[in-house]
Structure 1
Amino acid sequence: MDTSTRRLVVLISGSGTNLQALIDAQNTLALPKTHIALVLSNRKAAFGLTRASQAIPPIPTAYLALQPFLKSHLASTRDDYDVEVAKIVLKAKPDLVVLAGWMHVLGDGFLDLVSSTKSLDDLDNAMPRKPIPVINLHPALPGAFDGANAIERSYDAFQRGEITHSGVMVHRVIKEVDRGEPVIAREVEMKHGENIEAFEERLHKVEWEVIVQAAKKVLDETAPLS
C-alpha cells in the first residue's frame, strides 16, 4: 500500500448505506488516494460489516458493543467502553474517523484520546502525533433536531406546519451532541402529501453525497496530498 494513501476508520451501527458511499468513493476523484482501513460496529448483526468484508479488497472489521463489554468487565463504566473504542480506532492509524450511522454518543474517554489530549501506556505506538479529526453525519440542519430520531421529528414538525424544509449535515464531533462545527450542510425540501418513507429515501441520497464530500474536505485540510 502506498504510504501516501490516506486512511479512514468508519464507525457504524446499521445497514451501512453511508459506509457504502465511502467504499464506492475510495481512490476515485471523489476521495483520491484514500482507503478505509477499518470498519467498527457496535452491533454484531450490522449489515455494514458484511459490506466491508465483501468489498474489493475486503476491509478489516471490528465489533464492540456497550452492554456485552460492561457485562464482561463488571467494574467498567461507559467511559471505559469509549476508551476501548478509541484504542481500536487508534491502532488502525487513521487520518480521519467518520461516524456513519454510529448510534452511540462518544464521551470524553474517546474524544480525549483521539484528540491527543490524553494518552495511555499501551497506546504508545498507536497514539498520533497530531489530533485525529472526527466527523459525524446527522440527518438535520445545524441547530435543528439534535440527537436521535431527527428524521421522524423533522417530518412531524413539517406536518404541523412548523418548518418548510429539513436537511443533512456533517459536523465535527465535540462533547456536545450534534453541536460541532458543520463541515457541510445541505437543505432537503419537504413535500406536502409525501409519506415519511419517501422523504427519508430522498434524504438518504443526499447523505451519501455529503458524507463523501465532507470526508474529502477534512482530509484535504488535515492530510493533503503531496
Structure 2
Amino acid sequence: MTSKLAVLISGNGSNLQAIIDAIRARMLDAEIVVVVSNRKNAYGLERAAQAGIPTRYHPLKPYRDAGRSRQEYDADLARILQEYRPDWVVLAGWMHILSDAFLRHFPYRVINLHPALPGQFPGATAIADAFEAYQRGEIKETGVMVHLVPDEQVDRGPVVASEAVPIYPSDNLETLTNRIHQTEHRLLVGALRRLLEGD
C-alpha cells in the first residue's frame, strides 16, 4: 500500500528532491501529500511545486509578534498536516525543534535526518562542529543518521539508519558538507524504504 508522506523543510530541499526522485524511480512506494516550509523563500517549495505537490507556508514570526507560544504554533502545524492524513512526517532540513503539541499527534511517525552520528553533535551546526573537532584531532569521521522523533529531545530518538562519513586532510567545510549531503540523500531514501516496508 502506498504510504503518504508529509515533508517539512526550511531551505533548499535537496533531501526532499531525493525523495521525489526515489518515488518517480519506483524505489519508494510513497506519495508526498504536502510539503510545509517555515520559510517563504525556501527553494524546496519550488521543488515541490515543480513536482505538482501541494505546499503550505507556516511561519513562526506572526505567532511571536502576537505573543503566542511555540506550543500554539506546533498545534496549528499538526492541524495543517492532519488535513492531508500522512502516514509519516519527514523532517528534511526542518530547522525548528518540535514540541509535544505537535509530536503527540504523530507518535513514532516523525522521521528526522541529522548530519552526525548517533550521540554526536546535536543541533543546527553539526557539520561545522564535526569539522572543528577533526581539526582539533578529536575525530577522524563524522556521519549521517535517520532517527524517529518520539519527544522533544534534539537529534535523539531510536536510530533507523546511520552511516559514517570520513573526513580527509584535504577537506574544507564545503567539501565535507557536500559529501555529507550525498550520504544524506542515499541514507534517507533507504531508511524510508525500510520503514514503509515494515522491515
Task: Tell me the TM-score range normalised by the shorter chain.
Answer: over 0.9
TM-score relative to the length of structure 1? 0.84
Q: Could you tell me whether the CA contact under 8 Å between 2:23 and 2:31 is conserved in 1?
A: yes
User: Among residues 71, 84, 100, which one is paired with 1:79 in the alignment?
Assistant: 71
Say whether residues 1:190 and 2:162 are aligned partners: no
Separation in 1, partners of 2:62, 2:15 = 26
Aligned residue pairs, count: 198
Q: Which amino acid in structure 1 is aligned with residue 147 of structure 2?
A: H
**8 Å contact 1:41–1:64 — kept in the other structure?**
yes
Secondary structure (helix, strand or coil) at the match of 1:211 reads helix
Question: For 1:74-126, what per-residue CA distance to the aligned partner results, in whole angstroms no more than 9, with x for missing partners?
Answer: 352111000011111111111111000000000011011222xxxxxxxxxxx
Q: State the alpha-carbon separation in 2 of the partners of residues 79 and 61 from structure 1.
A: 22
Are the equivalent residues in 2 in contact too, given 1:11–1:98 (CA < 8 A)?
Answer: yes
CA contact (8 A) 1:172 1:181 kept: yes
Maintained 8 Å contact 1:90/1:114? no
Which digits, 9 at most, give the CA deviation of each residue in 1:133-191, with x for residues without a partner? 11000000000001120000000000110001000000001321111011000000100
Structure 1 runs not aligned, ≥5 long? 116-131
User: Equivalent residues in 2 for 1:93-108 (5 A)?
Assistant: 93-108=85-100
Question: Structure 1 residue 170 and structure 2 residue 164: aligned?
Answer: no
What is the 5 A alignment of 1:1-226?
Answer: 4-32=1-29, 34-55=30-51, 58-71=52-65, 74=66, 76-115=68-107, 133-173=109-149, 174-221=151-198
Identity, in percent, stands at: 48
Question: Could you tell me how far apart the structure 2 residues matched to 1:27 and 1:208 are?
Answer: 15
Match of 1:126 in 2: none
Secondary structure of the residue aligned to 2:105 is: helix
Structure 2 spans left out of the alignment, 5+ residues: none
Check the 8 A contact 1:141/1:166 in 2, yes or no: yes
Which residue identity lines up with residue 185 of structure 1 in the other structure?
Answer: S
Moved over 4 A (4+): none
**Bigger Rg, which one:** 1
- Contact between 2:89 and 2:110, CA under 8 Å: does it hold in 1? yes
Contact 2:63 2:69 in 1 (8 A): no
For residues 67 and 115 of structure 2, what CA distance do their matches in structure 1 show? Answer: 35
- Structure 2: which amino acid aligns with 1:220? E
CA distance in 2, matches of 1:30, 1:9: 18
CA RMSD of aligned residues (A): 1.4
User: SS of 2:8's equivalent?
Assistant: strand
